[in-house]
Structure 1
């Protein structure tokens, strides 16, 4: 092989070179001994004629030296050639190994690239399929949106048609900037093309700042959420017309809160209302005068009965006259309370009863405080049709207690209780009048009696008030009446 050949040549070179060097050194030494003069072993002949035999020998030695040097040179060239061949073979082997490795790596990379390519192809196919499905879905969604947009446009057109056909102002304004975002045809015809302008500058005249009556703050609660519809009236400063406004905070198309107002012209209605108010004031004045005159007439009747009783000697008839006067006075007191109050239809029952019972105590001369009066009436308001029979009933019951329950100055107590109840959405009342006097006789049937007072109590309670009447005789006398408020307006 190459290594063995290289080592063999190298050995021959060193061995031959050593032999030649030894021979040369020996010959030069011999010549120098014979000649005893320096010799230049460069191939040049140094000497004279007497040294001719030596010269021939020197020539032979020089020839040998030449061939020796030539051999050395050839051996060196061979060695260099061998080294070059060896190095070339090593390079070729290394290059071949590198090439094999590169080829294997290339095949590996090629395989990996092919696998990656196949994977990529698979993913591309999957993604392409997904994109196709997505594209189909997008096309369907676009179709749906186009249909929805067309439907929305039609709805918008219909809404605009409705808004423009209303005989009322409809506008939408930004709650922060007061910019008018929408104005219907009615508003444009009266106030002009004001969309995009400031509402308080366009809808009102003479305004230098937002209107003091602006409802923006009333349309939102503390959390900034809409509170609902706010209704109010306003006289416009541009055309001097009256409008009933319905304001509400709504979400605009971009999500912001805006104020929508629908203002209906109520100028004619306002004129009718003013006329009705004027007529009502006239009627109230007339009704006050009527109540005042009725009260005065009843007082006149009471006075006439008092004058007539002076000519009657029988105490029984005198008592009858006095009871009639008491009843007339109870009715007159109602008319007096009506024309003294601001409400001509309803009466404060508590105030009325206190005045009525106080007059009865004076009428029957109850002094000294031996009879205690307790009045417990809740916030009960009665109309005149219910108050008059209630007043007459209380008048009869208190009169009976003052006349019969406490004989010979006996001490006692009278209680009047009234309360309002709401039963299944219907206002019902309970009236209780009681005393701790000697009580009614056990054999007395209050429904079958000749007493005018008891007959009035039964008739007024059950017939006029359409209530339930009950008497209790334990520890005195208690009268309990349960009734509903009369629907006098429907009966008229």
Structure 2
């Protein structure tokens, strides 16, 4: 690589002699006799190193150095000076960033050449550092734009000091700041977490580095932020920052909705599992109760015969106790039957407020407990089997009384709920000040014969809550338990009610028969057609969870056969839920046209994954009553069906 050198001195003999010496050593040398000439030469042919005298007429070496650095910031100046100006040269080196100073005359040319080479290396190094920094900053500016456009919270922190070096707008917004610059320079643990007095115990810094301190693999984890209480999937990575520091880059994706959906799905699965379990137990309980009653009939019959045959008072006393025990066993059997079958609720128009007041007065007035009751006005019809509902509420009250050892407080409230786009419901809350239920047991309280009461306790250990669950479930409702140990328990019963507009008209037309058609969702028979067996299975489970009767078909031809068979057997299908696009066989529109020919009153819902299709937008032209776009929720599906059946 060519070595170039500019020599500036107002003594020609010095510049000439240096020119000869340096050219003999491979340098390409240019000279100037004063500062102004040197500047002109430098402008035409930039140099990395300049060898200059300090004391010169017109412009001294220090002024020349300042002028040259205006042209090229990185230029390295070596001063040559006589004894009288050594102090000036030293000051220039110290104050003005000169590279070096040497005394005249120069006795060792090798040392001078080595100094020039070092100056050239310094020029290259400083320029490289600045260029790299500018390049990194320019690259970071691009990344900053990218980070700000991401749907994720991003920040960069020093792994030694925990100082925040960068944060994007998403993070600032998530933490309640308008501008991310607000907290740059502060510690990450001060800004991002709550009530931290030092680095977080869960800090991932150590996971991100190799033993030698170099960046390692990324680390992914889920965390609920202590400031905004939202869930994030976090990806941490150690990277080299533009200033060569090793820093932690953290990218946090908000998964709060996902977590909520997962929770709802787990609850949904749990509800299905509970329903399946109760169905299985109900079948068993019904069979056991039947056999049990047969056995009880034999036993009590023989006890009665013994009573008639024996005149001994002592024996009669024992037989009387045995008879009483059999009658108690009969009550248990009756409860098993109620739990197992219970009979379809015979629903009549019910004043729920009056019913609950009567239950409370009859059940609690004789107990050593205080109670309160409050209610919203109920602007809707409420239909229920009063006997069954009374049993369910009494069973829950009994549990509350026993949990308080006979004394305490019970608060009962009835609220009317009518959220937007949802069917109205009433919520009955029964709260006690009892011992409470532990978290590990709360999921088991509806299991038949589950109890935390001592085995020698005289308190009931029967089917109370199981029967309550069964009754409320048959009324289209559910029970949710909330409890805190040593503080008490709340049982929340949720039941559907029906708006007055429309329901009266149904009742007037056909009295109880027509009313049952509206209320009893078990009588709604739905034909579902889809050529994807997985989707078919999912829709089937959703509908069954909603307690509709479901018939499945993989294509239009199969659907038509099922439909005709059902009609011939007088098992009318009420609603057809038809997929638009069927690969093998008739699709949704063609199938609906065929179904209407067989039954003009069939109600159809067109299901599709591409609702922008112009043909689909005109679904009503083909006889469909509504359209449902995939993917859809269980609430949307239920709402569509409820609207059609209203």
State the TM-score, normalizing by the size of structure 1. Answer: 0.31
The structure with the largest alpha-carbon Rg is 1
1 or 2, which has the higher helix percentage?
Answer: 1
